Chain A
Amino acid sequence: MLKELYQYRQLLKSNVRKEIRGKYKGSFLGVLWSFVNPLLMTLVYAIVFPFLLRSSQPHYTTFIVMAVLPWTWFTSSLAQGTNSILVNGGIIKKVYFPRSILPISIVTSGLVNFLISCIIIFIFLLFSGIGFSINIIFLPLIILIQYFLQLGIILITSSIDVYVRDAEYIINFFVSLLFYATPVLYSLDMFPQKLSMIMQLNPLATIISSYRNIFYYQTPPDFLMLGYVAILSLLVLFIGIKVFNKLEKGFAEEL
């Protein structure tokens, strides 16, 4: 499978480019929307939530921006990725190419966006006076784990969506539910030990907390939890590949 993907790397490349460029085609700000959008969301949260939570978190805007951005990567990848096979139905019926290129290019274009938006996080760190620490070297590791987790999930959801079109809506619901179960707007240590342990079963909780550790608290991530999430991600990816390989054979007939 990897060999074939390597052979088709040009397709992957041009697909990623198309995803990044084509998404905001016809709008004035174009690609900039990928960054303006999460920034505006951050702004809204930063204004509203301090009132609701009476949060005493210093630098609250910086505190949430480093969670909103990876969260945006997750939700937008999931939403577009789940659809990726369906919207490309026309071409799937006519030409052979490794179908997994489609979900892979969605997650990868999201990755590129996220890497660029890391600059926003850096700017916030700089201007809030928090600054940087050596722990930033763990950033690639966290990103990689999130990438594999998302890819695994999307391989499953995109192939199921072809057969049961409800998948999209069910996933939308779970994503909005997950938003509240993931420490994007708050931090896990607001909760009693036991509860926060349960919440950490959600792999995204650990991933988001890890970003916050290295940027905001300037400590290394919790390697025990991150290790658990890394194994889980690889497991999800493995299952994703299996499911996708099985279901892709029927794509052209089902679409």
Chain B
Amino acid sequence: MNLGGNIAGIMTPLIVGLIVQATGSYFLALMFFAAAGVALLICSTLIDYSRKLPV
């Protein structure tokens, strides 16, 4: 789980930097955040909070 967070930490500043460099604006970078927000919403909704893992 922490690994996921750190991958985001490594990749996000790079991706935003490249987007800004390539497009010369921040619009797509903001859309990138919005997309991540939607993806987080989907992931959070798919977690089954009612069940304990049978492991």
Indicate whether A and B interact.
no
Q: Measuring CB to CB, which residues of chain A are less than 8 angstroms from any residue of chain B?
A: none
Q: Measuring CB to CB, which residues of chain B are less than 8 angstroms from any residue of chain A?
A: none
